[in-house]
Structure 1
Amino acid sequence: MAEWVRIRDIGNYEGQTVTLKGWLYLRTDKGRLKFLRVRDGSGVIQAVVFKKNVPPEAWEAADKLTQESSLIVTGTVRADERAPGGYELDVSDLEVVHYAEPDYPIQPKEHGVGFLMQNRHLWIRSPRQATILRIRATVIRAIRDWLDSHDFVNVDTPILTPAAVEGTTTLFETDYFGKPAYLSQSGQLYNEANIFALGKVYCFGPTFRAEKSKTRRHLTEFWMVEPEMAFATLEDVMDVGEQMVSYVVQTVLEKHRRELEEVLERDVSVLEKITPPFPRISYDEAVEILHANGFEDFPWGEDFGAPHETTISSQFEKPVFVYHYPTKAKAFYMEEVPGRPEVCRSVDLLAPEGYGEIIGGGQRIASVELLEQRLREHNLPREAYEWYIDLRRYGSVPHAGFGLGVERTLAWICKLPHVRETIAFPRMLDHIYP
């Protein structure tokens, strides 16, 4: 029996007889020839069935194939530059595992986004969506590889929390044995406790924001990696951020260049430029850029919206760090800039091509007194943060960290129109099915 191989490895078997197991994506009949586009989760290949080369029962089975039928095909691998991926399979035998019902909802034609989202469980089978999910897996693995190899320890943080990390208006509340609890907006506060035990840590998991946003950048459930470092400053955050992001982008290029170019039609020359160092500008300088580019009335002190971030990042070929935001525009735990209490030691990394913030972070408050003051200013219940204040009582040190959103980063790398394509089953303001 021929060796079962994956389509992604087919180039290693030129001239050999192999077996593929997968599903029919598309069938084209031309008399005694049938061209089967077969996918197996690792790629797509054209399998050519010539009537005289297969047993009668295999020809008959191929003649009945419907879209998404599962099948096992055996044949000889042949190089062909015209074929998808550069190889074809000359079929010598074919077995149908299951004939799919003939009314498969998603045909090889244009469908509306609403229809595709309602059929997301089937849409992810399409070559484009499967490619995005494979690249997502590479992004996640590259992030972990970089952090693990730079002495960061992975520590899992709670998804159920007793209090807010950021804005209280964006919390999903649930009942926790008669008491209110919330789905986590971030693992950062717990990571700040972890650094006092382990020095450099990161958590990686789902986070939740009950934000009533319908933009192409927003999901209500998304995945975030959050490195945190003891004895670190804002500058360390930028150093780590640019190194990690560059490593992720170059790893994706190394492993998925062909898919980026052929399936997603991505201009990879843009990604080839993503290497350290990244440009760094202050919030003050960013406001000057806005004033010079059509946003003359933008007031100092406001946070940037999508049009502002797009305008700022359009001035650069690489992601750009914007640091030292106004204190009132950022979360309660940001350290002050010495001599400028109205400005905090915060930073965002804005991706090129209009994709906005992919990293948000900064240096954390190290003093008990300033943290207590910020809790009062933000009207946050002190009792819920008593443990967090303890971190400043017992061995406080300068410390810093950031969060990187996987979905926005992936949307930028793949140049996708909306983050809904970056996760298998997206959760949005108006969408939770399937």
Structure 2
Amino acid sequence: MPSEILLKIFSYLDAVSLLCAGCVSRRFYHLASDNLIWIRIYSTVFLSKRLNCKFSSVDETAASVSSLSVEDKEAGYWKKEYITKQISSVKAALVQILKPVSPYTGLPIKTKEALRISGLGWAIVLKEKSGREHIIQHADLSLNDTSVTVSWYGKNWPCLAALSTLDVCGVTPVFMDRYKPPAKYGPQWLSLIAKYDLSHLNNSTMIGCDKLVRIFCLNPGLLVGLWQKEDGLAFIMANLHFHHLVERSILGSATLPYVLPTHSPFLDDNPEYGLQGYQLHIDMHGSGIFYLCSTFHNLLSKEGCIENGYVKFMAINFKNNKEHLPLIGKPGLAWKTNVFDGFIESCSVIDITLLDEYRKPFWCVSTPVSMQAVSCPLDGPNFVGHTYCVDYMDAEGGVHAELVWIEETEEFFIVSLVLYLSVEKINYWFGTKY
């Protein structure tokens, strides 16, 4: 078919259809990048809003925007301009949606709405040692109160021994219409959230197992399931906290993560500044089942309670029975693939949302954890029942919980909950020195 006829046909297509047509062949790619076609689309969407007009044909567009020197631009110039401006408008719209903040959690009120209307999803990029890449879109996700759990599974995983790293990326449609669902196969862009080294999968990172799989935890918040017999990938599960989740999922690039805005310390002359007034919200759940949802107000630490570079805050004291909290059911983590599903006992996900005294997010994390049996509660008396502990620690903070299984009522009680915050983090945040 002559190029002139194809250009005429392409002039009736919308942006998404043009980009899809450009993937057919090199000839189609060149024709579908025609500047006259794209300047019409660009002008209709952006210029017509300011000029209160609409261009109905390529000829009208060329006549109206002759000052833009369409023919002087390199091939594909106006396609790139249109895509760039569309991406910018999507980002700006989402930033506006996320402005209202909850006074209780310190997190954007409309995070779930932003995820829905943006068509935001997540993908993993598995990289082989040879350099080959495998991009896999998420198979399932569940929204929690302060986090989202994203899962990947399938039948055609690459060989685990050949893999070197795994990237978790946000995937956003280039063209967003808040009143219409995004095109399923339209153009998208990636934003790197976290990068993981798969060589770190070893016994020290294994947190649980059942008859079919073993699960490994890689910080931050990644769960990798391997088959018991084949030692191959069964599933991958990422736990992403809502704090700056949309920004991290759309404002980075495929190779560089989003960088948080520079923090200005809250300066004060009070020597106890940074050791009081915190609010902790903690959830414990496993694939849609919630075992704990609780908030602790006005947490403080006495000066001198520093252990290995971390300040200690007591949320639940084992000596005070009134503070002890029951869990709803027995903690466990449900998993599934295309063929099998299962339930791993004593494993779960904890979401930690810690606010400073101004109710601003100070430390937020979502991570898999496991319950480990201990002979007796640390630094405390013996309780009637088997005792377990849950631990998590990273460079900014950590949590230690002790639980007792009560045989008579068949339920777990949290008898101790201790929060640890990095001295370096506190000094940076409040401009203090401990």
Shorter-chain TM-score tier: under 0.3
TM-score, normalisation: structure 1: 0.24
Structure (1 or 2) with the greater strand fraction:
2
TM-score, normalisation: structure 2: 0.24
Structure with more contact order per residue of length (Cα contacts < 8 Å, sep ≥ 6):
1
